[in-house]
Amino acid sequence: MSREDEEGVLGPEELDIERSERAARLSDGRFVIAADADESPDPPDPAEMGDPPAAGDGPAGTSALERVQDADTAHGFVVAARFGDASSETSVFADDLGQVFRSLLLWYAAGVDPSSPPEEVLGVLLRASGLTVRYPPGTLARLVAAHDLTPEDDIADLLAAVSEEGVNVE
């Protein structure tokens, strides 16, 4: 029976999820797989990820630099961090730069404060960094539109709209 006749049987190349753009590596042996017609997966909510892997979860004797150089993707990282008394390491490799960066931010936010929403943790960290962030043109217009405000509304209306939930910039 030929491979084409074996309905539902996957070959080794189809099982290598590390090369798929529909898979995002969270750490060694941990992946997020896009479902349905999604082009690329979204990393899970940090609360659903469980404890970050312990430091040294990479292959024995393999440095972080070697792991990054050996990855068969366009982007990725291996990072270790200390969160108070706990230390952790994670790695993500994917062809989607945004996905890799988002995974890093979510992982770090979950390590800093697992009990708070990552959006809040990241906002506090960014503000505490002292960095000035330049948002792309149209960001303020999208924020105003997201709160059903118009040019006739005043700044007090905008402040009231964002006072409860904060400013969510997309």
- The range of the structural domain enclosing residue 162 comes to 134-170
Same domain, residue pair 142 and 80: no
Residue 104: per-residue pLDDT: 92
Cα–Cα dist 33/101, whole Å = 17
Same domain, residue pair 13 and 89: yes
Same domain, residue pair 29 and 93: yes
Same domain, residue pair 142 and 87: no
Same domain, residue pair 121 and 170: no
Cα–Cα dist 109/154, whole Å = 34
CA angle centred on 32, ends 90 and 60, rounded to 5°: 35
Render pLDDT for 129-156 as a digit per residue (tens, 0 to 9).
998 888 888 888 888 888 888 888 888 9
Q: What is the mean pLDDT of each run of 10 residues along the chain (170 residues)?
A: 53 60 58 55 51 48 83 90 89 90 92 90 90 86 86 87 76
Domain boundary among 114, 130, 146: 130
Cα–Cα dist 170/144, whole Å = 12
Same domain, residue pair 97 and 112: yes
Render pLDDT for 16-30 as a digit per residue (tens, 0 to 9).
666 665 666 555 555
Where does residue 64 rank: exposed (0-12), middle (13-18), buried (19+ CB within 10 A)?
A: middle
Q: How many CB atoms lie within 10 A of CB 111?
A: 20
Partners of residue 76 on adjacent β-strands: 93
Same domain, residue pair 98 and 154: no
φ, ψ dihedrals at 81, nearest 5°:
-145, 155
Instruction: Work out how many domains the chain is built from and give that number.
Output: 2
Same domain, residue pair 90 and 161: no
Residue 2: per-residue pLDDT: 45
Distances (CA, A) of 124 to 37, 113, 165: 35, 11, 14
Same domain, residue pair 97 and 142: no
Same domain, residue pair 118 and 138: no
Same domain, residue pair 74 and 90: yes
Average confidence score pLDDT of the chain: 75
Cα–Cα dist 147/56, whole Å = 46
Residue 106: per-residue pLDDT: 92
Same domain, residue pair 74 and 139: no
